[in-house]
């Protein structure tokens, strides 16, 4: 399902603010609307942007939204044998 980008941005306001505080490069990319790539381990993003369950797929909507802003978020999970989770846009 595709949602309006303004709705998505409001939905992820807390996550975006947390990622801005967490990573300087993300902060610069968000403010300047530039391309950026952030790799983060699942336990770390779960602390920064908590979800009900600590699963990589729980962050897929956030990952898709950030992709529209030229920001690639990759969540690394040990349980996936060090595979990196990233949705295709």
CA-to-CA distance for 50 and 56, rounded, in angstroms? 11
Task: Record the pTM.
Answer: 0.80
Q: pLDDT tens across 14-39, in order?
A: 999 999 999 999 999 999 999 999 99
From the list 43, 51, 31, the residue with the least C-alpha distance to 75 is 43
45-53 contacts: CB < 8 A, separation 24 or more? 45/75, 48/18, 48/19, 48/22, 49/14, 49/15, 49/18, 49/19
Q: pLDDT tens across 33-89, in order?
A: 999 999 999 999 999 999 988 888 889 999 999 999 999 999 998 875 545 555 443
- What six digits make up the tokens of 24? 């300087």
């Amino acid at each position: 399902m595709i949602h309006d980008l303004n709705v998505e941005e409001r939905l992820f306001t807390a996550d975006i603010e947390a990622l801005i505080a967490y990573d300087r490069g993300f902060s610069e990319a968000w403010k300047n609307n530039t391309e950026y790539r952030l790799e983060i381990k699942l336990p770390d993003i779960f602390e920064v942007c908590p979800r009900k369950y600590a699963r990589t797929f729980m962050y897929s909507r956030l990952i898709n939204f950030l992709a529209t802003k030229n920001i690639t978020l990759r969540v690394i999970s040990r349980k996936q044998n060090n595979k990196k989770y990233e949705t295709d846009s």
